[in-house]
Amino acid sequence: MERLGICGFCVQDEGEDLVLLGKRYELNTRPLKSFKKFVEDTLGLDFRIKTPPQERIKLPPKQDCSAFLDKLRGGCRKHGRSILFSDEGADRLLHGHGQSCEDMWRLRYGTFERLPDGIVYPSCQEEVIAVVKAATESSTVLVPFGGGTSVTLGLSCPENETRPIVALDMSKMNRILWVDPENLLAKVEGGVVGAFLEEELGRYGLTTGHEPDSIELSTVGGWVATRASGMKRNRYGNIEDLVVDLTAVTPTGVLSARGRKTGRVSEGPEVQNLMLGSEGTLGVVTDVTMRLRPKAEAQIFASFVFPSLGAGVKFLREIESRGELPASIRLVDNFQFKFAVSLGEDAAAAKRGPLGRLSRSVLDPLKKTLITRVMGYDWDQIAAVTALFEGGKEEVRRQQKTLTQVARSHGGLPGGGENGSRGYALTFMIAYIRDLGLDHGWMGESFEMSLPWSGVLKSCERVVERVKRDSQREGVKLPPVISCRVTQSYSWGACVYFYIAIRFVELAEPLKVFHRLEEAAREEVSACGGSISHHHGIGKSRRPFYRDRAGGGNSADTGLRLLHGVKDTLDPSDVFGVQNLVARVSRTETEMRKQTPSRL
């Protein structure tokens, strides 16, 4: 079903029950009774409060794209092509936002000052070249659009842009061009959706192993443009480890290594790498040659519970230092542990058979008694780890044995494979839970940062303290939700997700309050050595933080000059003027802030 202000499917009220619509998850169509009680008791979420999205949204007027269309049609006639174009209101709205909290808020309760004035749908690289040429000649801005999953305002149209804006939708460039099983490579178009790619590669017994939270919707080109990371990074690498070659169309030409199939060379700077993390500011990725791996012989889930988040962090660090990281291993704090417990109880209820059998889980009363009374765990401090092992059978068995031994040495207990599987799948549901909160007066967002090990636990503690304190000062009536999750482990540190949610019904300017709380949290993480982003990117929402990081400390101005130099070379007319990362011209921070689109 389609509705303003939701991500994909939705969690819907069905009388007194909550039901997850769709067919993709274990709990689809099952009443979420325990989960409902959890959010009522823990958050104070009142399902009697209704804050539904607006039925209609007033769209900004569209600018005239006739000059662009005339140039495009003229170029297409030469090659006997016809490229689909739309300026329908629904299409403009769909292509004018991502999935951030601010995007959802504008969709549900506000409006957009600018939206794309049209959308163009090329179906091959030659058509992309024609689109970019027409935009250059007609002074039109292009905004590449893949799966629409940006959470950094990366797809929002700059409000200060006076030229026509056209979204360049890559959905028709969704082909796998070739698969080379012998050399473990595949060349795919930029608009290929991750889930479809994995399904097709599976026919060859192969995989990229790249599995971001957004794999159901996000595209290969978007992965490259945002410098993405996947949940199984430990085994398969981040996106930069998977890219062998790519082709990108820029206003001054096509960027490519011309079919290179070797993974590493010493042939000067890798100019193709300029597109990694470029966020639609230099051109559009039309195809990518990716490394593949044979599908794993064995895939097994596991879970562990620990007496505290600190014990879990020490466990992760030791596993990493031993070189025994499984394909995926993630640590969640007490709030997310209890969140998973509530969904686990609903899953167990759904599995009652004719004889009343229940699936075994760490939530069973007997095990809960063991954890709290025998082991001495504090139920309000417990943290949990979910793990996914992939590889050969012997490799997986060895890793399982090692993790279990190390977990016990840190006071941990095995929680079972079923809980591991459920915890892994829970990641895909989080956006839908956020949408449910918006229907009942709560707004929330997550952000992720890289942190050194010395700052992981400290940042979690500081963010909780700061957001609680600041939310009281901002007039937030109920205690906010502040939660964290460690999702990637490296020798130097980890990627940590932070989740913040507040009740907004009593607030006069909810979005402004929420932004201030998020910025306060970022300040605390930065003070602990954190980055701006681990894999979501900069977009526009994080652009004010980027200037000091672009060149590294005192050389930031040099780094920004380098970025602008690349921009001037590849896109001198600012055709790809989405204004992500940095403002168009290198200026003082004050002047840059003046160009940043205003927030509600």
In whole angstroms, give the CA distance from residue 456 to residue 493.
8
Q: Are residues 311 and 424 in the same domain?
A: yes
Helices (H), 268-386: 309-321, 334-350, 365-369
What's the mean pLDDT when you consider all of the chain? 88
Nearest 5°: phi and psi at 525?
Answer: -65, -40
In a domain, 423, yes or no: yes
Domain total for the chain? 3
- Please measure the distance between the N-terminal and C-terminal CA atoms of the chain and give it in whole angstroms: 28
Alpha-carbon distance values, 114 to 59, 117, 337 (Å): 8, 8, 41
Spatial contact of 97 and 91, defined as CB atoms under 8 Å apart: no
In whole angstroms, give the CA distance from residue 470 to residue 35.
28
Q: Are residues 231 and 190 in the same domain?
A: yes
Question: Which contiguous run of DSSP H or E holds residue 128?
Answer: helix 125-138
- Residue ranges for the binding site for FAD? 144-150, 213-219, 226-229, 279-285
In whole angstroms, give the CA distance from residue 211 to residue 229.
8
Domain boundary among 428, 459, 489: 428
**pLDDT tens readout for residues 125-152:** 999 999 999 999 999 999 999 999 999 9
In whole angstroms, give the CA distance from residue 155 to residue 84.
20
Q: Are residues 314 and 246 in the same domain?
A: no
**pLDDT tens readout for residues 317-365:** 999 999 999 999 999 999 999 988 887 776 665 554 433 333 444 455 5
Q: Are residues 304 and 424 in the same domain?
A: yes
**How does DSSP assign 157-203, residue by residue?**
PPTT--S-EEEEE-TT---EEEEETTTTEEEEETT-BHHHHHHHHHT
Q: Are residues 332 and 406 in the same domain?
A: yes
Q: Are residues 250 and 324 in the same domain?
A: no
Domain boundary among 248, 265, 294: 294
Spatial contact of 535 and 229, defined as CB atoms under 8 Å apart: yes
Q: Is residue 497 annotated as part of the catalytic site, yes or no?
A: yes
242 sits in the region (left: phi over 0; alpha: psi -120 to 50; else beta) called alpha
CATH number, residue 36: 3.30.70.3450
Per cent of the chain over pLDDT 90 is 72
**pLDDT tens readout for residues 148-184:** 999 999 999 999 999 999 999 999 999 999 999 999 9
Q: Are residues 352 and 279 in the same domain?
A: no
- Residue ranges for the binding site for substrate? 434
Q: Which class for 115: exposed (0-12), middle (13-18), buried (19 or more C-beta within 10 A)?
A: buried
**pLDDT tens readout for residues 488-538:** 999 999 999 999 999 999 999 999 999 999 999 999 999 999 999 999 999
Q: Are residues 309 and 403 in the same domain?
A: yes
Q: Are residues 287 and 316 in the same domain?
A: no
Task: State the residue range of the domain holding 225.
Answer: 176-294
Three-state helix/strand/coil letters over 420-488: HHHHHHHHHHHHHHHHHHHHCCEEEEEEEEEEEHHHHHHHHHHHHHHHHHHHHHCCCCCCCEEEEEEEE
What integer is the mean pLDDT of 214-230?
97
Question: 535: number of CA atoms within 13 Å, CB side?
Answer: 24
Residue bearing the bigger pLDDT, 512 or 3:
512
Domain boundary among 377, 398, 428: 428
Write 549-553 long-range contacts (CB < 8 A, 24+). 550/582
Res. 59: pLDDT tops 90 = yes
Marked catalytic residue, from 377, 497, 499, 546: 497
- Residue ranges for the binding site? 144-150, 213-219, 226-229, 279-285, 434
Res. 484: pLDDT tops 80 = yes
Pairing state of beta strands 165-169 and 141-145? parallel
Q: Are residues 225 and 320 in the same domain?
A: no
Q: Are residues 422 and 323 in the same domain?
A: yes
pLDDT for residue 353: 42
Spatial contact of 423 and 497, defined as CB atoms under 8 Å apart: no
Res. 595: pLDDT tops 70 = no
202 sits in the region (left: phi over 0; alpha: psi -120 to 50; else beta) called alpha
Q: Are residues 312 and 422 in the same domain?
A: yes
